[in-house]
Amino acid sequence: MRILIVEDERELASLLIERMRADGFVIDRVATAGAALDAIRVYDYPIVLLDRRLPDGDGVSIIPEIRRLRSAIRILVVSALRDIDDRVEGLDAGADDYLTKPFGASELLARVRANLRRPGSASLPPVVIGDLTFDLNSREASVAGRPLLLFKREALLLEALMRRAGRVVTHATLIEELYGFDEAAQLNALKTLASRLRRRLESCDAKADVQSVRGVGYLIRAV
């Protein structure tokens, strides 16, 4: 799952990115309100972590425009502005949640998960291909009822393919979703990852295969 962090403090942003990537999220990070709106116009993030004190203004001021662009997005304000009036202002502007700095990474991740579970985030049925099942809500995979354990990048690739089961997913889309736009990634890295996932599915007899469409991308289908 891909998350947008709007934070101009480089050190804090780096810590958040490291912790959230370790939890399996793909992170895009921008440092200004304007860049945040540009990113949201391009990508349908399920949630955005929004700082208030940004170089080009108060992050709260762009919440109405974020809502106009992506009505279903969850907005979690993360700010050092901690007075009651500040929190009320953020929530009244349309934020779903407000977390004051300093905070623990575990609390932040718990709030992200809680916001993604809130009503309005539709529960999706599992995707089944062959003996492989992927739960789009918990982001867990199983084969014939047995949990399928994957490394982080393998799980992200499987999720990207299962969300579009039966359709070809382009190389560019996969690289964007797996690595985010602030990470350098090459096509060869994606090819290696796809090969590893293919071997894992074969080894557990998932009856599902990651197939390459030369020059285009990958798709997953039953075999």
Among the four given CATH numbers 3.40.50.300, 3.30.70.2200, 3.40.50.2300, 3.30.420.40, the one describing domain 2-117: 3.40.50.2300
Q: How far is CA 206 from CA 35, 76, 148, 172, in A?
A: 42, 38, 10, 26
d(CA 113, CA 119): 12
End-to-end CA distance of the chain: 27
Question: Coil, strand, or helix at residue 203?
Answer: helix
Give the pTM: 0.64
DSSP 120-157: TS---PPEEETTEEEETTTTEEEETTEE----HHHHHH
Name the residue ranges covered by the structural domains of the chain. Answer: 2-117, 127-222
Q: Give the pLDDT of the chain (223 residues) as one tens digit per residue.
A: 789 999 999 998 998 888 888 777 888 999 999 999 999 998 888 899 999 999 999 999 999 999 999 988 999 999 988 899 999 999 999 999 999 988 888 888 888 888 887 765 545 678 899 999 998 777 889 999 999 999 989 999 999 999 888 889 999 888 878 887 665 668 889 999 999 999 999 999 999 999 999 999 999 999 9
Q: β-pairing, 53-54 with 57-58?
A: antiparallel
Fold topology of 127-222: Arc Repressor Mutant, subunit A (1.10.10)
